[in-house]
Amino acid sequence: MKSGWEVVIGLEIHCQLATRSKIFSGASTAYGADANVQACLVDLGYPGVLPVLNEEVVRMACKFGLAVNASISPRSVFARKNYFYPDLPKGYQISQYELPIVAGGELVIRLDDGSDKRIGITRAHLEEDAGKSVHEGFGQFSGIDLNRAGTPLLEIVSEPDMRSAAEAVAYMRKIHSIVRYLEISDGNMQEGSFRCDANVSVRPAGQQKLGTRTELKNLNSFRFVEKAINFEIARQIELLEDGGKVTQETRLYDSLRDETRPMRSKEEANDYRYFPDPDLLPVEIAADYIEHVRQTLPELPDAKKLRFTDQYGIRPDDAEILIVSRALADYFEMLAGETAATAQIAANWAIGELSAALNRDGLDIEQSRIPPAQLAGLLDRLTDQTISGKIAKEVFEAMWAGEGSADSIIDAKGLRQISDSSAIEAIVAKVIAAHPEQVAEYQSGKDKLIGFFVGQVMKESRGKANPEQVNEILRQKLQES
Amino acid sequence: MADETHTLHSLTLAAMARGLSGGDFTATELTRHLLARVETIGKDLNAFISVTADAALASAAKADKARASGKAGKLNGLPIVHKDLFCTRGVLTTCGSRMLENFVSPYDAAVVERLQDAGAIMLGKTNMDEFAMGSSNETSYFGAVKNPWDTSLSPGGSSGGSAAAVAARIVPAASGTDTGGSIRQPAALTGTVGIKPTYGRVSRYGMVAFASSLDQAGVITRSAEDAAMLLSVMAGFDPRDSTSVNHPVPDYVAGLAAPVKGLKIGIVRQHFDAGLDPQCATAVREALAALEAQGAVLTEVDLPNLDLSVPTYYVVAPAECSSNLSRFDGVRFGYRAEDPKDLMDLYCRSRGEGFGAEVKRRIMTGTYVLSAGYYDAYYLQAQKVRQLISEDFRNAFATVDVIAGPTAPTPAFAIGAKTDDPITMYLNDIYTIGANLAGLPGISIPCGFAGKLPVGLQLVGAHFAEQKLLACAHQYQQLTDWHEQGPEAFA
């Protein structure tokens, strides 16, 4: 970012809650059904139907509020946001407006320089999603799919506390991690279960007054959030440096062109005429209910990270990576618990080989081809020096390919490490005999050549020789010859 | 038998129930007899939008069979007609609007379902002011309903078709809805009994919404006893309506025997101000004197904010209606303009052509009072006044059991007399609106005549005091025969 400017960013994250039925009806929320088969009369806004609040969304919102140290409102109110759009069946969206269910929370993000930063959460409120307009395949008409209408959303509004696109992404990732820990959202961004709007403004460094902001709509990947915000920052700074003014407006990010552009002003000229929805009672939450929900909270990412460094003694940076997903953290703990290897080795493998293999095959940790107990078997052989680190990677790939347990692969492929010193001595003798020139050089002081000899021995043993023993025997024999 | 069936229509619902269970006539005979009146008198009065003759006869046959096998429900074989804003599966549900002229509901309203489950037989759907917005039935897309007492007059509204059908002895009972007086005012103007229960007493599920915080379903009958029979079935918690209240439903019929003696009746001085027709005032005063003679204690109560109820109502109700009626957009159901050139044109013309003038007036009023910059001055202010009005009633009910007074300021007025001046029309609801704003139950019963036109006495009670209202009304009807008098032309 150009110096002399300060960036101010606030995010509104729309998180789809993982309920089985909709927020105000009994219709299913499952993704991917044929158009309009998961919309009941309530979702279709038929004359005479009434909304009935799904209690599960209240529980989920409470969990979120507690996880970010927010207060849970003893009384929150659903309001109607009135506007006409074909995919909004009732002509209004039911949302919380003046009295949201969650108010005043915070979380901590880790910055690139390793320091921590607190980000305030203004509020989180419950609302229903609208349907979807389909503009392709209907000639001059548009199609409407109301399967999504009435899907429960938690809209999480941050304070304007972020100062760069990277901070915004770190915040969004943290929220993503928390809602997945709480199991209140699947966080699936491709399916639109987790998306955000970003409010972006810039001001001269040191200025108190906020600059005019623009709102970037519907960003549905971490990468797009970063790119859209960076584009918008550059656009605003350039505009201001050229003596222009930023217009307060809503802009859309076009990922194909990597640019933001204003939405049609018509779409913005709405006066939503919010008022309390008379079909729904205020949501009243008792203190003992909140306590009950608090008892059900899982260990959250920050606490888990602390525990991982304390209990397992692994590097804080590794702990940070492991805790991003609750499933990965669980995998690590099972692995560390089952293997004789150190926890740091378990962490290295979970973050390294395992994550790489999952990424390569596009799998979630839950779908890992190697369960933790099996991977533990491999790390045990590494630790008791049955195999070397290099061989271990080979065995891992074979396990990933479904060839069996570590032990059976090691035996079947004859990969057991050679630790018998007489066998290693024989190979060493062969290597020394084959390279008289290098032996002479070594003996005249070129110590670095030890690496060459180790390599030759390992090659000759097809990687199976115990590297430490090889080193020791080589040094001894090279002295002697 | 033939002679008896000839006058079946003059029976009350309770008398019909006795006749059916005593085997004096069958549900089929009764249904057939009443359907004939629906087709003739109903048409003459323009009281019906739909007649469901075939389904009614099929249900009647079933009811007779059920009775024969000892499985008769509480209302087995008894006739009912529904105001046309109750959704009825497979039957037109128009709300008196061109917007829903061809709308066939895919489901039954809770009220319809409960009555049907108890064995009641629906004969048809009654005419009404468009989306229940009106006090004279003249805003109906299907034309005004005529008052059986004088067919040049309005039966009131918005449940005008229901009131006219009961007054003309077409059917003994009809459902209605009351947002600002839409059951009680037409009951008063047609000499029938109309009860609006406590807000939340009867499920609103399947009742097309006008103003959600005020709407409540009730019935129009000829006697308090009949109203009690129906309300016992209609009332009760419904998980499909979040505003319905989980409060036990008493046996309203059993409660009718409670004597008037000792009942504390509050009289509101402003009810008898200059706005009240003198003949109506006389009839109401005489009714109060009759109750006093039975041992009721009359005391004056003060409702200091009563004069604010009409303006408050005409902010709150339009605000809610402007939002409730947004779903009628020509996209999924209802009227759709021909050849829209784009989305905005589809919206504007579908709504412009589908809604009538009064509905549009209220949508515009409601949109205005909710708009940025006006919300606080109108909507929020109205909500505050609504609280004050509720408190007035609460204070009053600390000292009295019921509040009694006139239901409407005048007897029935001529069709066309008030259509040019909405304010005069709105003032027709001046005595009834308070109960809606405060969510209280109210009943109107015939208490005499102003000339040849019936006059209504209104009783309003505290929340869930329906039983007191019904008992008081029933006891009054044991002393008087106003409710037995019908328009001679339709005897």
- The whole-angstrom distance between A212's CA and the closest CA on chain B is 22
Q: Is A275 on the interface with B (CB under 8 A)?
A: yes
What's the structural domain count of chain B? Answer: 2
Instruction: Tell me if B240 and A52 make a contact (CB, 8 A cut-off).
Output: yes
Could you tell me if B248 and B317 lie in one domain? no
Q: Which of residues 45-74 of A touch B (CB under 8 A)?
A: 45-53
The pLDDT of residue A2: 66
For residues A268 and B333, which has the higher predicted lDDT (pLDDT)?
Answer: B333
Residues in chain B with CB shorter than 8 Å from the CB of A89 are 327, 331-332
Cα distance between residue B119 and residue B116, in whole Å = 5
User: Is the pLDDT reported for residue B67 higher than 50?
Assistant: yes
Domain assignment present for residue B79? The answer is yes
Instruction: Tell me if B375 and A89 make a contact (CB, 8 A cut-off).
Output: no
Tell me the pairing of strands A283-284 and A92-96.
Answer: unpaired
Q: 3-state SS of chain B: helix, strand, coil percent to 5? A: 45, 15, 40
Residues in chain A with CB shorter than 8 Å from the CB of B241 are 50, 52
Instruction: Tell me if B367 and A273 make a contact (CB, 8 A cut-off).
Output: yes
Out of A84, A86, A279, whose CB is closest to B326? Answer: A84
User: Is the pLDDT reported for residue B468 higher than 70?
Assistant: yes
The neighbouring-strand residues paired with B82 are B125
Could you tell me if B254 and B321 lie in one domain? no
In sequence order, the 6+-apart residues with CB closer than 8 A to the CB of A393 are: A353
CA distances from A465 to A133, A432, A459, A473, B365 (A): 65, 16, 9, 11, 90
Q: Testing the interface with A: which of B331, B367, B437 to mutate, by most A Cβ within 10 A? A: B331
**Lookup result for tokens 């205020």:** A282
The pLDDT of residue B168: 98
Residues in chain B with CB shorter than 8 Å from the CB of A92 are 323, 326
Residues in chain A with CB shorter than 8 Å from the CB of B208 are 47-48
Could you tell me if B223 and B353 lie in one domain? no
- The phi and psi torsions of B490 (rounded to 5 degrees) equal -120, 25
In sequence order, the 6+-apart residues with CB closer than 8 A to the CB of B473 are: B193, B224, B227, B443, B445, B459
Residues in chain B with CB shorter than 8 Å from the CB of A24 are none
The pLDDT of residue A445: 86
Out of B207, B334, B343, whose CB is closest to A48? Answer: B207
Q: Testing the interface with A: which of B86, B128, B326 to mutate, by most A Cβ within 10 A? A: B326
Instruction: Tell me if A278 and B213 make a contact (CB, 8 A cut-off).
Output: yes
Could you tell me if B314 and B252 lie in one domain? no
Domain assignment present for residue B390? The answer is no
Q: Testing the interface with B: which of A272, A273, A279 to mutate, by most B Cβ within 10 A? A: A273
The pLDDT of residue A444: 87
Residues in chain A with CB shorter than 8 Å from the CB of B372 are 271, 273
DSSP state of A440: H
pLDDT digits (tens, 9 = 90+) for B236-273: 999 999 999 999 999 999 999 999 999 999 999 989 98
Residues in chain A with CB shorter than 8 Å from the CB of B94 are none
Domain assignment present for residue B486? The answer is yes
User: Is the pLDDT reported for residue B427 higher than 90?
Assistant: no
Nearest to A51 by CA among A78, A29, A76: A78
Q: Nearest 5 degrees, angle CA B370-CA B372-CA B373?
A: 105
Average pLDDT over residues B212-222: 98
Q: Is A282 on the interface with B (CB under 8 A)?
A: no
Instruction: Tell me if A50 and B240 make a contact (CB, 8 A cut-off).
Output: yes
Residue range of the domain that includes B325: 308-380
Instruction: Tell me if B327 and A89 make a contact (CB, 8 A cut-off).
Output: yes
Out of A46, A92, A281, whose CB is closest to B242? Answer: A281
Q: Is A134 on the interface with B (CB under 8 A)?
A: no
The catalytic residue positions of B are 83, 158, 182
Q: Is A279 on the interface with B (CB under 8 A)?
A: yes
Could you tell me if B350 and B471 lie in one domain? no
The pLDDT of residue A265: 58
- The whole-angstrom distance between B375's CA and the closest CA on chain A is 8
Residue of B nearest to A53 (CA): B242
In sequence order, the 6+-apart residues with CB closer than 8 A to the CB of A59 are: A293
Domain assignment present for residue B211? The answer is yes
Could you tell me if B114 and B179 lie in one domain? yes
Question: Residue B398 burial (CB < 10 Å; 0-12/13-18/19+)?
Answer: exposed
Instruction: Give the type of residue at B119.
Output: G
Residues in chain A with CB shorter than 8 Å from the CB of B332 are 44-46, 89
- The phi and psi torsions of A275 (rounded to 5 degrees) equal -155, 155
Residues in chain A with CB shorter than 8 Å from the CB of B93 are 47-48
Out of B208, B329, B347, whose CB is closest to A47? Answer: B208
Tell me the pairing of strands A152-158 and A5-16.
Answer: antiparallel
Among residues B359, B380, B401, the one where a domain terminates is B380
For residues A464 and B61, which has the higher predicted lDDT (pLDDT)?
Answer: B61
Domain assignment present for residue B173? The answer is yes
User: Is the pLDDT reported for residue B58 higher than 50?
Assistant: yes
Q: Which of residues 5-44 of A touch B (CB under 8 A)?
A: 41, 44
Out of A84, A273, A279, whose CB is closest to B329? Answer: A84
Among residues B330, B351, B380, the one where a domain terminates is B380
Average pLDDT over residues B329-350: 95
Q: Nearest 5 degrees, angle CA B108-CA A95-CA B313?
A: 65
Cα distance between residue A135 and residue B372, in whole Å = 32
The pLDDT of residue A358: 95
Could you tell me if B129 and B233 lie in one domain? yes
Could you tell me if B312 and B254 lie in one domain? no
Q: Which of residues 72-101 of A touch B (CB under 8 A)?
A: 80, 82, 84, 86, 89-92
* Whether B110 contacts B238, CB under 8 Å: yes
State the angle between helix axes of A450-460 and A467-480 in degrees (0 to 180), rounded to the nearest 10. Answer: 120
The neighbouring-strand residues paired with B48 are B126
Mean pLDDT per block of 10 residues along chain A (481 residues) reads: 87 97 96 93 97 98 98 98 95 97 96 91 98 89 94 98 96 96 95 95 94 93 95 96 93 90 68 97 97 96 95 94 93 96 96 95 93 96 88 94 93 81 87 90 87 89 84 86 66
Could you tell me if B349 and B470 lie in one domain? no
User: Tell me, what's the ipTM?
Assistant: 0.96
The pLDDT of residue B344: 94
pLDDT digits (tens, 9 = 90+) for B142-173: 999 999 999 999 999 999 999 999 999 999 99
User: Domains of chain A by range and CATH?
Assistant: 5-291 (no CATH), 301-413 (no CATH), 421-480 (1.10.10.410)
Domain assignment present for residue B166? The answer is yes
Domain assignment present for residue B287? The answer is no
| Residue-by-residue DSSP string for A365-425 | GGG-SS-HHHHHHHHHHHHTTSS-HHHHHHHHHHHHTT---HHHHHHHTT---B--HHHHH
Q: Is A120 on the interface with B (CB under 8 A)?
A: no
* CA-CA-CA-CA dihedral for B291, B295, B300, B305, to nearest 10: -60
Cα distance between residue A334 and residue A370, in whole Å = 12
- The phi and psi torsions of B398 (rounded to 5 degrees) equal -75, -20
The pLDDT of residue A424: 87
Three-class DSSP category at B299: strand
Could you tell me if B235 and B332 lie in one domain? no
Could you tell me if B246 and B325 lie in one domain? no
Tell me the pairing of strands A116-128 and A102-110.
Answer: antiparallel
Instruction: Tell me if A90 and B326 make a contact (CB, 8 A cut-off).
Output: yes
* Whether A51 contacts B324, CB under 8 Å: no
Three-class DSSP category at A343: helix
The pLDDT of residue B1: 41
Average pLDDT over residues B180-209: 98
Average pLDDT over residues B348-367: 98
Instruction: Give the type of residue at B56.
Output: A
Among residues B351, B380, B409, the one where a domain terminates is B380
Residue of B nearest to A82 (CA): B323
Domain assignment present for residue B427? The answer is no
pLDDT digits (tens, 9 = 90+) for B374-426: 999 999 999 999 999 999 999 999 999 999 999 999 999 999 998 888 888 88
User: Is the pLDDT reported for residue B213 higher than 50?
Assistant: yes
CA atoms within 13 A on the CB side of A108: 11
The pLDDT of residue B2: 43
The pLDDT of residue B394: 98
The pLDDT of residue A357: 96
Could you tell me if B37 and B174 lie in one domain? yes
